[in-house]
Amino acid sequence: MDKPVSDAANDAIVSGYNNTGEVDTYNHCVDEISQKVERIEQKMDEIEQCTASTSKKQVKASKGSSSVKDKHIPGLKKHLQEASRMEAAAAKRMQDLMRQFGTILNQASCLATLCFSCLDLRVTRHKFAWPFMQPVDVEGLGLDDYFEVIDKPMDFSTIKNQMEARDGTGYKNVRQICADVRLVFKNAMKYNDEKSDVYDMAKTLLKKFDEKWLQLLPKVLEEEKRREAEVAEIKLMEQLAHEAAYAKVARDVSNELNEIDAHLEELREMVVLKCRKFSVEDKRRIGAALARMSPENLTRALEIVAEADPTFQPAAEVVNLDIDAQSESTLWRLKFFVNDNLEGEGDGSGLASVDDDDNNREEDPSNDNNTNNIDNSNKNNNYKRKREISDAIAKAAKKKRQKPNS
């Protein structure tokens, strides 16, 4: 009868792990690598987000949660300065347009030198303009239904205040002013009867205003077109700057992965040297244990082999697994995996992780319970750390194959 797999654990132990100092050294190495991998994963998430936003032609600002600071973005300062200059120039041009628009409302001249400052009669001083200069006195005039008819009251004094506002609440462009001026007259025409004087005043002034607006409109259209091109240019500059930043992050990630690979290779050599080689009997028992695993766990075990050997095809119709050809680190990972999962499946014949000397040693009646508890705790911790080291090595090897191109 075959020896139970769990009884073979004595033959599959890393003798060096019995040395507490060496265990601590390996533990420290694994912890350092884990922290580095976590940082790299965060950077990879940022790179993926940047790639996704770029594919949708969206510029995603890297403020707040992003770890990529402006100082690391090549040329970003210059791009931001240029964008700021363009924004300031656009704001100045818009202010100029607003001042020209203001002449339509406030400046008197007769067919003067500036084509947009001339009004035959100033709108706000026109003989028909007085009903529109201030907000409608609803209570004083007894207009109880005014707010039922008019959704948004408007008047020239309110427009003037909005044009002069400097706290960010004012108009953003000339079209907003134009809309409110029209609203003044349309409200009057909406509330008053067509035969009333106020209706006639509003209609007359609206016509005069539209004539002057048509004179200003070409400049408005020219500015809007220019501003649209500038906004597109600014967005493109920002996008290129952030793409350059994340390209640098990708290169840094690649370099860090190379460093971790070298560190892991060194750690691998250290660990393998401390491992007693698996015997033919050890390998046979691992193969027998794999045969007893559920289909899901067997698939995962084959994936473990594929992680160390990219040429191995775990999903092929016919899978030929040569246990004898596997590396020591792969065999250790399979051993840990078999041990965990056969116990979870209730097989009871997993590869237990205990030291050679512990299994071969007869119990000493003089050892008290405290000593036994400490020994068991140490063995469990050693087993856990050995598995972490094996998993870290395999995980890093997998990441190396997936690392971004520089």
Query: Using one digit for the tens of pLDDT, what is the confidence trace for 189-248?
Result: 999 999 988 898 888 888 888 888 898 888 888 888 888 887 887 788 777 777 777 777
Whole-number Cα distances in Å, 223 to 94, 220, 277, 290? 8, 5, 79, 74
How far is 14 from 18, CA to CA, in rounded Å?
Answer: 8
CB 206 within 8 A of CB 127: no
Sign of the Cα torsion 342, 348, 349, 353 reads positive
On the 0-12 / 13-18 / 19+ scale of CB atoms within 10 A, 260 is buried
Tell whether pTM > 0.85: no
301: tokens are: 């075990």
Domain 79-238 top-level CATH class: mainly alpha
pLDDT tens for 107-127 read: 322 222 222 233 333 444 444
Is pLDDT at 176 greater than 70 in this prediction? yes
Q: What is the DSSP string of 20-68?
A: HHHHHHHHHHHHHHHHHHHHHHHHHHHHHHHHHHHHTT------TT---
State the chain's mean pLDDT as an integer.
69
Q: Of 118-127, 319-328, 338-347, 373-382, which range is least confident?
A: 118-127
| DSSP state for residue 405 in the 8-state scheme | P
Q: Is 119 helix (H, G, I), strand (E, B) or coil?
A: strand
Sign of the Cα torsion 266, 269, 275, 278 reads positive
Is pLDDT at 318 greater than 90 in this prediction? no
Q: What is the pLDDT of residue 312?
A: 86
Is pLDDT at 4 greater than 90 in this prediction? no
Please report, to the nearest 10 degrees, the dihedral formed by the alpha carbons of residues 41, 44, 50, 53 taken in order: -80
CB 153 within 8 A of CB 187: yes
Ordered by start, the domain boundaries in the chain are: 5-58+275-402, 79-238
Q: Is 216 helix (H, G, I), strand (E, B) or coil?
A: helix
Strand partners of residue 275? 14
